[in-house]
Structure formats: structure tokens, C-alpha cells
Structure 1
């Protein structure tokens, strides 16, 4: 008995360890810890999982198929014809007809298909830039949402402190009970703001998961600081780089596509030739003869003139659209940089002057109220100023982030643009 007891104990110990390990694994699955996520990781994950970008990638394969099809020559036609159904006198003909394209139709089709392949590649690049912009917005949106929760919790602690002081002063008979009511109203407003900020954080997490192509039930923890944004780029550098942006290259390629389509329509004015070769057998004469033929349609009425005219006008339209795209991008660039400059100035003012002064005012009025130098209305005004200042600070951060993401949408990684132009 004594020799078996240790083995049983060891066996139970191993079994309990396995059960405990399984329980820990299940616990980790049910109560998943939010995964740390940097911006670079978020961008990489989005490129791998985002369905919109994956759909855009298939356009290249589609364009490759169209390029292959454009280079194919027409199939030959095999025909069999019988004249007179009587077996003694009938004549049967077997013939092979090969259409021959003339006028450069095949080359024109290939050039148009190649322009389509180039457009598909540019569309993919533009989709990647748009996804990059969306990831930045969603990533920094969650950082700001978390920051908003933290500030709301800090504001709640601030108002709770003021309410506690007001309760003490009311109990001591030094202030009117209405002061306590005011404090409680402000605390209730801050509590509402805290609830809104927590809901916004949940929504921000969902938006980020949608962009990343992940599970909406999974919690993410972006690593970063919502207040640390890139410096405002140099306008002259961005203006020089505007011509090489995906939108401008796609607009220029649109002109090339329509011009290639115009050239193709012009080649279709020239009729193709069909060459036939075959054998004819006459049952009555018991003789077989060779048959050779050449045919082509006569362009008397349909010379493809309508399609040529339409293609020419579409080329003119594409040129105007290219010019409109350039003007639109220039206007967007100017507006975005102005918005970014204004937001950056506001952020600097909030960080260096407004928020520190508002915090100092709150501390001074609270101390003064405790000593009976100020009324509680002064405390409430100081707290409200600080709370509103924090909310305005978040709005300025949001405006700056939107400007940044807008430039990323146009150029891609603007840090690379800045380095390449130096």
C-alpha cells in the first residue's frame, strides 16, 4: 500500500495539472486580453485581410485575361454545303474559311488592353492608399476615444471632489444648498459624457476591426499617442509630387485609354478579308474540283463612323476630366493643408496655454472656495472651462488626423514623399 500511494499521488497531480492547464486555456479564450497593435502592424494586417483591397487586386488578373483575349486571332470557319438532294446529281462542297484582320485591328486591341492592365494596377495602388487612410483614421480614432474616456474619468473625479467640498460647506452652513445642487448637476453631466465616451470607444474598436478585416468581438489595444502626429508637410514638396499621385496618373491614363479606343474604332472602318479554300464533288460528273474564295464586306453604309465620333468625343471628355482632377487635387491639397495648419495651431495653444491655465484656474478656485474666498459658482465655471477645453482639444486632434489621412489618401505614405523630395 505504501509503495502504491506515491504513484497515485503523482498520477492525480499530473491529472490535476492537465485539468488546470485546460481551464486556463479556456479562460484565455473566453476572456481574451486585448492584443497590442502598432500602426505598422495595423497597416500590414489590413493589407492582408481587407476584402475591398483583395477585390481590387483581382482587377489585375481580369485585365491580364482581357490582354490575352485581345491578342487572339479569329477562329477559322468550317462549312459543308450540298446542292440538289438527289444522290445521282447532287454536288457537295467542304470549305474552310479564315477571316484575316487588316488595318491593324489586333495591334489596336492589344494597346487598348495594355492600357486597361495599367489602369488596374493604378486602381490597386489607389485602393491601397485609401485603405491606408482609413486605417490611420480608425487607429487614431480609437486612440482618441480611449483618451476621451480617460479625460472623462478625470473630469468625473474632479467634479466628485467639488461635490464633496460643496457637501461639507453646506453641512457647515457656510453655503446655500443650491450650490450642492449645481455641483450634482455638473457631475451628472460629466457622467453622461463618460458614458458617451465609453460607447464611442466601443464603436471605434468596431470601426478599426472592420478596416482590418478582423473579428468585431475581438478587442484591440492600439499602441501609440493620439497627440503625436506628423509635422505639417511642406506645400511646395506636395505640389511637385501631385503629378505623380495615383489619381493624376490614373486621370492621364484615362486619356490614353480613350485615345487607344479611338484608334481601335478607326481601324474597324476597314473591312476584314475572308479567305476560303475547299473541295467540291459532283456526283453527276464524278469529278472533284478545288474551290478558292475571297470575300469582304463593302463599306457602303456602315463605316463605323458613329463609333469613331463617339470615341473621339470620349477622348476629349477624358482630357477635361484629367484637367478637372488636377484642379480638384490642388484645391483639396490647399484646403487640407490650411485645415492642418489651423488644427496644429489650436493643438499647440491647448497644450501650452489653454489647458494648463484652465487646470491652474480649477486648482486655485477650489482652494479659494475651501478658504471661503470664492463662491462655488466660480468653481463650477472653472471646471466647466477645463472640461470644454479638453473636448475642444480632442476635436483639434481629430481635425489634424483627418487632414493627415486625406494626404495619405492622395499620396500614400507622405513620409516617403518628403524624404524623396529632399
Structure 2
């Protein structure tokens, strides 16, 4: 059957298009997830940030509302019921705020708006620190699982070597029992590491807002740990820490509330303008009046005293926040330096040396120069060094996240 060239091209295009759609619909779960991507996903999807953003929007609307003037009042009054003898009055009452009440009200609303912005920034920074900790907890759990798998493989090779020497009559069968116990311990450790990885990945998935499934995590080299500024420079930046900034804005908010309560002690004036018609006189006359409350019983003293006390409390909280930021930043800097130094030492010196000792001990055991207890001891030392290396790196990343949270403006607006 003869097919024209133009018709042969159509099925090829359709097939290529279908293959492209299938490839596009295939989930890209094999793409590694790195730390910046995890932070970006969490900042975009986490509900705590969305709730704080809505609160900031509500506070902005409250600032606009606080600047509105009070509405006038339209009043109608009729005296008498008989036509020809009744009096009808129509008037407009306009409250006039005195004592700077409107300005004070706007200041209070602006203070609440600033606090909402600080809360949003604090939640963003806290979420960033949580993502960093969760990411590297999952990454360390991933490496520990690989370490447990390597330990299980080594335990299997050790058992095979011991069985060979037992079969040759060179060692006691007790050595084979010890090797089986070591293999069972390695299997238990592998199962524990598997469960810990699942838990860590689930915690990270809850933060980034999507299931990770089998998606690998990218990163982990100790050399990737970023350097931090010297401690004196960080302590100078601690004055701009988000916690200190929020405490300062809280003080401004409480002070504005005290000013608003102080302004409320000044009575407002109500201006009345209207028209009155008297049917008996058959004419209309203007009505003008002024109403002033007499502050005889309520001078707003209690509310003013309460607002002033809260302002003093906010000033004390500001001092506490400054001290806490200084102390916490010093502690985080020291922890970071210690953990990073330990991780570098373990990676470059201790772990390679421990691995070399284990390999030499295992080879020497095969030639009868060492006992199996020596092999187990060298194996345990090697894997403990690897585990300490990853734990030190996790501690360093957690301390680095704390430094970023405390030091101020480095990542205040991270999205």
C-alpha cells in the first residue's frame, strides 16, 4: 500500500507530541532537593507565613480606618401632635475630636501594623531556621543509613572471613558466633537508621509542603559550611536582630496606646446645626448648639495608668531582648566554631585514619595476625567517627541557622 510522504509525517508528529506530553506529565521526583529550594518552597507554601501575611493586611486596613473622621448624626424632633401648635426640629450633630485623638488613634494602628510586619519577619526567619535544621537532619539521616548499610556489608564480609578461618581450623567457632552477633547488631542499626530517615523526611516534607517520596537531598560536604563574621561584628548587628526590633516596636505600640488614653481624657465637643419650625408662629428659625461632656466622674485615669504600666513593661522587655540576643548570638557563634572545627577534623584526619586501620586490621585477621575482637574494635571506631562527623556537621548547620536568625538583616526578607 502506497503512503504519500505528507501523510507519513502526520503520525510521526503525533507520536512525538504524545511522547512529549508523557514526559512532561512524569513527576520529576528524581531531581535532588537542595537547601535553597527547600527554603523557597517552605516560604511559599507554609500556612503560618500566610496567616501572618493576612494579619499584616488586616493591620494595614486598620491604619486606613483609624484616620477616618467620625460620622455626623441626623436628628429629627417633633414637639406636639396637633397641626398648628407643634414644633418640628431637624438638626445635624457633628462630633469634634479634641486633644489629638485622631492622631493618637492612627499612631496606635500604625504600631499594630509594624508589629504585624515584625511577626511576619520573625515567622519567616524561624521557618528558615526550622527548614535548615530539618533539611540537614534528613541529610544526616540519609548518610547514616548509607553508613549503616556499609556497616552491614562489612559485617557480612567479616562473617565470611571468620567462617573461612573456622572451616580451616585456624580459629575457634566462638569467633564465628561473635561475627554473627556483630552482623545482627549491624542489621538492627540499619533498621533504626531506616526509620529515622523516614521520620526526618516526613518532618521536612511537612515544612516544604510537598511529599518527598524517594527524592534525594543534595548537599552535605563539610567544606560547604559557610564562614561567619567575627563575633564582635555579629554583636554589633545584634541590635538589629528581629527579636530586638520587635521588642522596640512593641514599646512604640504601648507608648502610642498610652498617648491615646491620655488624649481620651480631653472631652470631645458635639456641634449642632439645624432648623426649627414653629407652626404657631408660622416661621422657621436656625438652631445652633454645642455639647461638652463634663468629666466629673470618669477622667479615664484607670485606663491611662494601665497603658502607662504596659509601656514600662515593654521597655523592660526591650532590655531583656537585647541581652538575650547578645547572649544567644555569642553562644551560637561558639557552637558553630566548635562544631565546624570538629567536622573538618573528623572528615580530613580521623575518619580516613580509622578506615585505614580497619582495612589493615581486617586483612591482618585473615593472615592470623589479629583476633576478631581487634577487627570489631577497629570497625566500631571507624563507624563511630563517621557518625560523629555527620552529627558535628548537623550541629554546625543548626548553629549557623541560629546566627542568621539572631544577627539581623542577613535574610530578613527571604522568600
**Both proteins in one fold, TM over 0.5:** yes
Determine the C-alpha separation between the residues in 2 that align with 1:44 and 1:313. Answer: 42
Aligned pair partner of 1:260 in 256, 263, 266: 256
After the TM superposition, which residues 227-246 of structure 1 pair with which residues of structure 2 at under 5 Å, given as runs?
227=222, 228-246=224-242
Distance 1:294 1:351, change over 3 A: same
Count of residues paired in the alignment? 411
Determine the C-alpha separation between the residues in 2 that align with 1:12 and 1:276. Answer: 85
RMSD, aligned α-carbons: 2.7
* Structure 2 residue 200 is matched with structure 1 residue 204: yes
Determine the C-alpha separation between the residues in 2 that align with 1:20 and 1:290. Answer: 85
**Unpaired segments ≥5 residues, structure 1:** 417-422
TM-score normalised per structure 1: 0.89
Q: Is the 8 A contact 1:132 1:412 kept in 2?
A: no
* Structure 2 residue 274 is matched with structure 1 residue 278: yes
User: Which digits, 9 at most, give the CA deviation of each residue in 1:358-395, with x for residues without a partner?
Assistant: 21221122122111111111111111222222222222
Q: Which runs of 4+ in 1 moved over 6 A?
A: none
Aligned pair partner of 1:225 in 214, 220, 228: 220
Determine the C-alpha separation between the residues in 2 that align with 1:399 and 1:302. Answer: 59
The answer for the alignment partner of 1:378 in structure 2 is 374
Q: Is the 8 A contact 2:79 2:88 kept in 1?
A: yes
After the TM superposition, which residues 290-305 of structure 1 pair with which residues of structure 2 at under 5 Å, given as runs?
290-305=286-301
Determine the C-alpha separation between the residues in 2 that align with 1:310 and 1:210. Answer: 42
User: Which digits, 9 at most, give the CA deviation of each residue in 1:155-208, with x for residues without a partner?
Assistant: 222111111101111111221222112112212222222222233333333322
Distance 1:203 1:77, change over 3 A: same
The answer for the alignment partner of 2:139 in structure 1 is 143
CA positional deviation for 1:97: 0.2
Determine the C-alpha separation between the residues in 2 that align with 1:93 and 1:34. Answer: 81
User: Which digits, 9 at most, give the CA deviation of each residue in 1:226-255, with x for residues without a partner?
Assistant: 523123531101100000111111111111
* Structure 2 residue 2 is matched with structure 1 residue 3: yes
The answer for the alignment partner of 1:123 in structure 2 is 119
The answer for the alignment partner of 1:335 in structure 2 is 331
The answer for the alignment partner of 2:83 in structure 1 is 87
The answer for the alignment partner of 1:21 in structure 2 is 19
Distance 1:150 1:49, change over 3 A: same
**Unpaired segments ≥5 residues, structure 2:** none
Distance 1:72 1:59, change over 3 A: same
Q: Is the 8 A contact 2:238 2:408 kept in 1?
A: no
TM-score normalised per structure 2: 0.90
* Larger displacement relative to structure 2 (80-89 or 168-177): 80-89
Determine the C-alpha separation between the residues in 2 that align with 1:11 and 1:177. Answer: 73
Give 3-state SS (helix, strand or coil) of 1:220's partner. Answer: coil
Distance 1:21 1:352, change over 3 A: closer
Q: Is the 8 A contact 1:366 1:379 kept in 2?
A: yes
